Homo-oligomer: A and B are copies of this chain.
Amino acid sequence: MVNLKDLAKELNVSVSTVSKALKSSHEIGAETKKRVIELAQKMGYSPNPYAGFLRHHKSKTIALIAPELTNNYFIQAISGAESVAQEKDYHLLIYCTNDEFAKEESILKHLQNGRVDGVIMSLSTATQSYQHLNDLIQSGIPIVFFDRICHEIETAKITTDDFTSGFNATEHLIQNGCKDIAYLSISENLSIDNKRKQGYLEALNKHNIEALPSRIIKCTGDEKNNYKKIKQLFQSDKIPDGVFASIEKLALSTYYVCNELKINIPKDTKVICFSNLRTAPLLNPSLTTITQPAYEMGKQAAAILFKNLDKKRSLIGNENIILKSELIARDSTKQ
């Protein structure tokens, strides 16, 4: 790897001359500039990014932290963030918390030393305390949240209209004849889950349907356990005639349970869920989804972060960006 010193020696000039010539400083003569630039080109010189960091304290790197990677929502969001990073000549580090609090803490701690200029993240479902988030921000690294946001931290947050979407999803089921709708919750720690549930409750209320606590199924990150809980739901005397899953995974588990128990969707029970599954139209039956603009959310999260990195101040003020999700009715909720 060739460096400034190598170029300087080759050209019989000082290191500082080479450095300035490459930045086309007015202090350097035209002839010298030309010689330097040509040799740099020829020898394939590229400034060492880490040496540069020591001077301006800019790593040109951001991190994206997600609870899981093999998830249609997050991968689209990552893709959006990546496209913006590449456009801005930034580098994107990816970290996965596996929905574990300890891992989230550990990852954030490792980022406190200036490795990145900023962080884009979605909380793990296990996160209930926010010290690690505050610590990172205190040490001068701004965070932008998307989707699984943290209300308690003052910064920018990108979400979708979860309450309205939850309301619409539930009303969609009601309008298609459902009177006994179960809500599959993923975690009470997540504000998006709570908002979706609030929308669900509000829709039931509007249509004078009693909200039964037993119809709110508390699922977790453990797929096996979720499967068991959903199976229980469908093995009771009276099965729900509609299911609103807060996330895609839970709807797919519902499909598998119904397959196993020979319960017909949508005849016996209808299913709707938040999902970014591209094959939703090809499922059997095709799945009615509320689809979040995941790619756009990733892009916006990155864009806001970059906007603030340009500024002097590393603290990002409260800012709530709310994008619209889209309800796409398909066969799984057909009357």
A-side interface residues toward B, CB under 8 Å? Answer: 1, 44, 46-51, 53-54, 59, 61, 69-70, 72, 75-76, 78-79, 82-83, 86, 91-96, 109-110, 112-115, 135, 139-140, 252, 255-256, 259, 277-279, 282-286, 295
The answer to whether A54 touches B44 (Cβ under 8 A) is: no
Taking CB atoms, residues of chain B closer than 8 Å to A259 are 282
Task: Give A83's nearest chain B residue, CB to CB.
Answer: B96
Given known contacts A78-B69, A94-B78, A112 and B44 CB-to-CB distance under 8 angstroms:
yes
The answer to whether A50 touches B114 (Cβ under 8 A) is: yes
The answer to whether A113 touches B1 (Cβ under 8 A) is: yes
Taking CB atoms, residues of chain B closer than 8 Å to A51 are 54
CB of A123 to closest CB in B, whole Å: 18
The answer to whether B82 touches A113 (Cβ under 8 A) is: no
The answer to whether B53 touches A50 (Cβ under 8 A) is: yes
CB of A66 to closest CB in B, whole Å: 10
What are some 6 contacts across the A-B interface (CB < 8 A)?
A: A44-B112, A46-B109, A46-B110, A91-B115, A256-B282, A282-B283
Bound CA span A95–B78, Å: 11
Taking CB atoms, residues of chain B closer than 8 Å to A285 are 284
The answer to whether A96 touches B82 (Cβ under 8 A) is: yes
Bound CA span A76–B71, Å: 10
Task: Give A57's nearest chain B residue, CB to CB.
Answer: B1
Task: Give A277's nearest chain B residue, CB to CB.
Answer: B279
Task: Give A141's nearest chain B residue, CB to CB.
Answer: B1
CB of A32 to closest CB in B, whole Å: 23
The answer to whether B69 touches A75 (Cβ under 8 A) is: yes
CB of A243 to closest CB in B, whole Å: 15
Bound CA span A54–B54, Å: 10
Task: Give A112's nearest chain B residue, CB to CB.
Answer: B46
CB of A157 to closest CB in B, whole Å: 23
The answer to whether A79 touches B70 (Cβ under 8 A) is: yes
Given known contacts A59-B50, A139-B1, A284-B283, A94 and B82 CB-to-CB distance under 8 angstroms:
yes
The answer to whether B49 touches A114 (Cβ under 8 A) is: yes
Bound CA span A69–B81, Å: 11
Taking CB atoms, residues of chain B closer than 8 Å to A114 are 1, 48-50
Other A-B pairs beyond A48-B114, A69-B82, A93-B94, 8, CB < 8 Å: A1-B113, A44-B135, A44-B139, A50-B59, A70-B79, A93-B93, A94-B94, A282-B283
CB of A207 to closest CB in B, whole Å: 30
